[in-house]
Structure 1
Amino acid sequence: MEKMKDRLRELTTRGNKWSNSEREEKLRNYTKGWINYYRYADMKGLLEQTDEWLRHRIRAVYWKQWKKVRTRYRIFRALHLPEWKVHELANCRKGTWRAAGMLNAVLTKTIIVDRLGYPSMSTYYQKLRVNY
């Protein structure tokens, strides 16, 4: 498990020069291979926790990309948030990890998985799981 998390950390490092589509493709390939290898194991709960952590890291990557307050305003307004919420989130001066936690309301699971195309490990595992 720790080796998997270390590899996911490498793939979601905020400092690398990958595009979002390249990062998404590398994450998809790694998670599919990992789940295919361990599909006989009973790890539904573990994958759900890892999914939550991975989505938090993805939110942190996006927060880091939206460097300017003006960019954050534009993106949050496009997501049709109330003006007070746009102001609160765009002007956040907390650290990247804390701000990524606040993005839960904006970049939800459905947006990250369906629109942005990042893999959901638990969903893929449920489709592939072999029951005895």
Structure 2
Amino acid sequence: MKTYLDEFGQWLRHKVRVVIVKQWKRPRTVYRNLMALNRLYKCNMSDEDIYKVANSRLGLYRRCSMNVINYLLSPKVLETANKKECRPALVNPLAYYLG
């Protein structure tokens, strides 16, 4: 059950990243928001790498599996709630099962 929930949690985080990037719609918005996350969480991604991901012609699913989005929208970021925007946090299924 642990391995299933671990794999399910990884898949769920990936799908949430896809939904978040899909909401940003335009490459300019993707670039601006990824740069803001880079400054906020100090991930040390270069502007060029973020620009490549934002203007990539790949589909959303493949774009969200790239290292840049995986590091900037990490599980740490997804599991923190934002009280100002009324955004709930993503619950890790494995931690929920074990806890």
TM range (shorter): 0.7 to 0.9
Rg: which structure is higher?
Answer: 1
Structure 2 Cα separation of the partners of residues 75 and 58 of structure 1: 16
SS, match of residue 65 in structure 2: helix
How many pairs were matched up?
85
4+ residue runs of structure 1 moved beyond 3 angstroms?
none
User: Runs of 5+ in structure 2 lacking a partner?
Assistant: 39-44, 82-87
What residue number does 1:96 align with?
Answer: 60
User: Runs of 5+ in structure 1 lacking a partner?
Assistant: 1-42, 128-132
**Matched letter for residue 46 of structure 1:** Y
- What is the identity percentage for the equivalent residue pairs of Structure 1 and Structure 2? 34
**Matched letter for residue 45 of structure 1:** T
Q: In the alignment, is residue 118 of structure 1 matched against residue 84 of structure 2?
A: no
**Matched letter for residue 77 of structure 1:** M
TM-score by length of structure 1 reads: 0.60
TM-score by length of structure 2 reads: 0.78
Q: Report 1:1-132 matches (<5 A).
A: 43-80=1-38, 81-102=45-66, 103-115=69-81, 117-127=89-99
| Deviations 1:46-65 (CA, angstroms, capped at 9, x unpaired) | 10000001111101101111
Structure 1 Cα separation of the partners of residues 60 and 54 of structure 2: 12
Structure 1 Cα separation of the partners of residues 27 and 93 of structure 2: 32
Structure 2 Cα separation of the partners of residues 69 and 96 of structure 1: 12
Q: CA RMSD in A?
A: 1.3
